[in-house]
Amino acid sequence: MDIFDKHLVLFVEKDGCPMICSVDMPIDINCKQLVTLDDLNPWFFPLPSNLCQIVPGSNHDFLTSNYRVVFSSPVLPDVVIDYDMSKKKFYVLQQEEVVGVDIDVKYMELLNAKAIVGLHFDDAKVQKLKDLSNTLTCERKEVISHDGVLIPLTILFSTKAHKKGHSPGILLGYGCYGEVLDKSWCAERLSLLERGWVVAFADVRGGGGVGPSWHKDGTGLLKLNSVYDFVACAKYLINEGYVHKNYLCSVGHSAGGLLLGVAINKYPDLFRAAILKVPFLDVCNTLLDPSLPLTTLDYEEFGDPNIPAQFEYIHSYSPYDNIPSGSCCPSMLVTASFLDSRVGVWEAAKWVAKVRGKMCHSCSRSVILKTNLSGGHFGEGGRFGQCEEAAFEYAFLMKVTGALEVADQM
């Protein structure tokens, strides 16, 4: 929510899709009765049809009637749009340039055009956007989890390069702290997508963006819901032919590494490769050490191990404490940062050492630990540092999956 002199801006969700609306101020209502949003005569902002993520821009002027928003999706490069809340018009100001790729320039299609009162077609027609919807396909599916709950799964692939039933793929997940999985535009992904890879985003429970209870249903004594949701999405990609069963990979960052660690322990044959970036893996020992900066705050998310019942549950899934003996494991790239104040560098190091010692000797030789001696929790800063990190990760995935050889055979 943002408030201005004459307008109130609200961020709402409808059918799992984010929407924005403005309400004229002051609000003249009877506070003694129940009031719904429709009673406030809101103006819903026209949104791009391929919308996945909304980020408010710099809106520091309290007296303004313009509201700036940055929109992005897997097929829509970041676009900045100004909305005039007084005149109920909008203007496309700027869009990120993408070099070396054929991009269609077309009129802005509106996600909620039918719901916008007083919007004429010409108002939308003059606003042009660049997107890759003719080159890339972005689908939103709902996957049935172990308890019948529908899990949103966003699937991105190249329309031309994707080979049904044969393509390699990456499944990304997080599922903690009520955070919505980032599905914004990322130019680095194009190098994989043009090689036929599939990139999928699993909005598992424990994360956000689906409903008010979505976060709570993946915390504490319900934490394993996140893992089963993630596994259900992985199996869906294979069963529906989006990804070949021998070429599915997974990526998790921080608490998302916990998600992958549990999934790998329980289903070691499901993934061909995994990238665990500064992962939270030694859950029991970390939560039992109150001297660490985030320990007591994490009691609400994962449970308090000082309570016996909660300790038993945490210990039952903690990745470090449940590594299966003698089992084969996927190839893994595990990263750690020496200056990480959120997840200790020792967590990744001791987990890799234990995996190499307990799991299949041949498979565990492909478990790699990469330690950044100067970066923090989010790695190196700067654009070039991020590009080098992405290039290293993509090279690892293509090498261990043999994706280059597969592409040559196709």
Could you report the per-residue pLDDT of 211-238, keeping only the tens digit for each? 779 999 999 999 999 999 999 999 999 9
User: Rounded mean pLDDT of 67-71?
Assistant: 93
Q: Give the model's pLDDT for residue 38.
A: 83
Q: HSE-up of 329 (CA within 13 Å, CB side)?
A: 32
What is the CATH architecture assignment of 136-409?
A: 3-Layer(aba) Sandwich (3.40)
For the chain, the domains span: 2-131, 136-409
Rg, the chain, Cα only: 23
Of 113-117, 144-148, 159-163, 368-372, which has the strongest mean pLDDT? 144-148
DSSP string, 32-89: TS---GGGG--EEPP-BTT--EEEE-----TT-SEEEEEEEETTEEEEEEEEETTTTE
Of 10-24, 38-52, 89-103, 173-187, which has the strongest mean pLDDT? 173-187
For 283-301, write each residue's pLDDT tens digit. Answer: 999 999 888 888 888 999 9
Active site residue 340: yes
Q: Which of 38-52, 195-209, 263-277, 339-353 has the lowest mean pLDDT?
A: 38-52
Q: Give the model's pLDDT for residue 109.
A: 54
> Active site residue: 203, 229, 298, 340, which one?
340
Contact 268, 329 (CB under 8 A): yes
Active site residue 254: yes
Tokens 């705050």 correspond to: 297
Size (the chain), residues: 410
Percent of the chain residues past pLDDT 70, beyond the cut: 88
User: Rounded mean pLDDT of 29-48?
Assistant: 81
> Active site residue: 254, 331, 337, 364, which one?
254
Question: Apex CA 187: angle with CA 184 and CA 190, to 5°?
Answer: 110
Higher pLDDT, 36 or 123: 36
User: Rounded mean pLDDT of 103-107?
Assistant: 58
For 76-85, write each residue's pLDDT tens digit. Answer: 889 899 999 9
Six-digit token pair at 342?
A: 């959120």
Active site residue 377: yes
